[in-house]
């Protein structure tokens, strides 16, 4: 918590009020939308991984990483147009 507070003070002074506002908006969007976009994947893995054999486990985990990558790429790509 202390490091985060000190880092925020440094970022405010570095960016200025307008740019820090954009920075804060992006972090709030991530904090708000992130849990929704996880699509319950953590609980799905916790439930189904023990029931699968090794090949199916690899496929399930790979599919999870792929989904996260696609969503992250979507936000990264369209973030340039929004901000």
Structure confidence by residue, pLDDT tens digits, 36-49 = 777 777 777 777 77
Domain definitions of the chain by residue range:
1-32, 38-83
pLDDT average, residue stretch 22-30: 83
Closest by Cα among 59, 40, 39, 38 to 49: 59
Residue, of 83 and 3, whose pLDDT is higher: 3
CA-CA distance, 62 to 52, in Å (whole number)?
A: 14
What is the band of 83 on the pLDDT scale with cuts at 50, 70, 90?
low
pTM of the shown model = 0.48
How does pLDDT run across 47-72, given as a tens digit for each residue?
A: 777 777 878 878 877 887 888 888 77
CA-CA distance, 46 to 61, in Å (whole number)?
A: 11
């Amino acid at each position: 918590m202390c490091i985060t507070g000190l880092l925020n003070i440094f970022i405010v002074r570095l960016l200025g009020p307008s740019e820090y506002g954009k920075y804060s908006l992006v972090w709030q969007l991530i904090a708000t939308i992130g849990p929704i976009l996880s699509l319950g994947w953590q609980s799905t893995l916790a439930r189904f991984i023990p029931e699968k054999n090794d090949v199916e486990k690899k496929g399930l985990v790979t599919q999870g990483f792929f989904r996260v990558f696609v969503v992250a790429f979507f936000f990264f790509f369209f973030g340039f147009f929004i901000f």
